[in-house]
Amino acid sequence: MNRVHVFFMLVIMSALLAACADDAGVEEGAAEGDGGGMEDAGASGDITIGMMDEMVTLDLHGSNDSASSQVRRNIYETLIFQTVDMELEPRLATEWEQVEDNVLNLKLREGTTFHNGSDFTAEDVKATLDRVRDEAVASQVAFLFEMIEEVEIVGNHEVNLHTAYPFAPLPSHLAHTTAGIMSKELIDEDYQAALDSAGVDMTAEEYYEVREAGGTDYEEVADQISEDLGGVIGSGTDGTNHLKLESRSAGESVSLSRFDGFQGGERDFENVTFRVIPENGARMAELETAGIDIATDIDSSSIDRIESGESTELIEQESVRMSYLGFNTQMEPFDDVKVRQAISHAIDREAIISGVYDDMGIAAQGPLAPDVWGYNADLEGAVYDMDRARELLAETDVADGFSTTIWVDNDPQIVDTAVYIQESLSELGINVTIEQYEWGAYLETLANGDHDMFILGWTTVTADADYGLYALYHQDNIGAPGNRSFYENQELSDLLDAGRSESDEDLRYDIYQDAQEILAEEVPTAYLFHTNFAIGVNSDNLSGVELDPTGGVRLDNVSFE
Cα 556 to Cα 561: distance, rounded to the nearest angstrom: 16
Domain 76-232: give its CATH architecture. Answer: Alpha-Beta Complex (3.90)
Residue 507 binned pLDDT confidence (cut-offs 50, 70, 90) = very high
The Cα 17–Cα 460 span in angstroms is 52
Share of the chain above pLDDT 90, in %: 79
- Side-chain-side CA neighbours of residue 86 (13 Å): 17
In whole angstroms, what is the distance from residue 525 CA to residue 51 CA?
27
Looking at residue 230, what is its pLDDT? 66
Q: Where are the domains of the chain?
A: 76-232, 243-318+533-560, 321-531
Contact 234, 58 (CB under 8 A): yes
Out of 143-152, 232-241, 385-394, pick the least confident. Answer: 232-241
The tens digit of pLDDT for each residue in 356-389 reads 998 999 999 999 999 999 999 999 888 999 999 9
Are the C-beta atoms of 43 and 560 separated by less than 8 Å? yes
Q: In this predicted model, what pLDDT tens digit does every residue of 428-460 receive, in sequence order?
A: 999 999 999 988 889 889 999 999 999 999 999
Q: Give the strand pairing for 148-155 and 103-108.
A: unpaired
Does the predicted TM-score (pTM) go above 0.95? no
Give the separation between CA 124 and CA 106, rounded to whole angstroms: 13
pLDDT digits over 261-274, tens only? 998 888 889 999 99
Assign 3-class secondary structure to 147-191.
CEEEEEEEECCEEEEEECCCCCCHHHHCCCHHHCCCCHHHHHHHH
Q: Which amino acid is located at 113 in the chain?
A: T
Number of H helices, E strands in the chain: 17, 23
Fold category of 243-318+533-560 in CATH = D-Maltodextrin-Binding Protein; domain 2 (3.40.190)
Q: Can you tell me the distance from the alpha carbon of 79 to that of 88, in angstroms, rounded to the nearest whole number? A: 10
In CATH terms, 321-531 corresponds, of 3.30.70.920, 3.30.420.10, 3.10.105.10, 3.40.47.10, to: 3.10.105.10
pLDDT tens digit string along 137-190? Answer: 989 899 899 999 999 999 999 999 999 999 989 999 999 999 999 999 999 999
